Amino acid sequence: MQAELQRLQQVLELISLDGCQTNALAAHFGEQRQQPCGHCSWCTKGASRIPQRQVSRIDDAIWQQVENLKDEQPAMATNPRMLTRLLCGITSPRLSRNKMTGHSLFGSLEHVPFAEVLSKAVQSMDVGNAVSEDPQLTQ
């Protein structure tokens, strides 16, 4: 039982290890590998982590539609929080009332974290017209 627990502990350490799991396993058996294997869950996750950090996940084509929305729905498009809710696909009574939940932009950035979309929305407002006073902003 004690040996089994110890083995379980080693497996857990391997899973939570920040590095190539195959290399760690190889090292455990006395083999030194120079390169990450590229196949274990750490390598595959690591590979998908890197491009996301460098490239914005917010599509320019979508942001072009947001610019168009400023003409269609100025009240909506100039409110960063409302705009972020729309893009992240989070319903609100106001979005429903404006029939925005059926808009092509609704949920178009649901794969991007809310805070990231919000900061992009705020930035785009800063360069455009001044944000109108809206009680929703302070929520």
Which residues here bind Zn ion, judged by CB under 5 A?
Answer: 20, 22, 36-37, 40, 43
In the bound state with Zn ion, the residue whose beta carbon lies nearer, of 43 and 122, is 43
Residue 75 in contact with residue 136, Cβ under 8 Å?
A: no
Distance from CA of residue 121 to its chain's centroid? 15
Tally Cβ neighbours within 10 Å of residue 121.
Answer: 25
Report in angstroms how near the CB of residue 23 gets to Zn ion at its nearest: 6
Report in angstroms how near the CB of residue 17 gets to Zn ion at its nearest: 10
In the bound state with Zn ion, the residue whose beta carbon lies nearer, of 25 and 90, is 25
Report in angstroms how near the CB of residue 29 gets to Zn ion at its nearest: 15
Quote the CA–CA distance of 66 and 59 in Å, as a whole number: 11
Quote the CA–CA distance of 26 and 23 in Å, as a whole number: 5
In the bound state with Zn ion, the residue whose beta carbon lies nearer, of 47 and 137, is 47
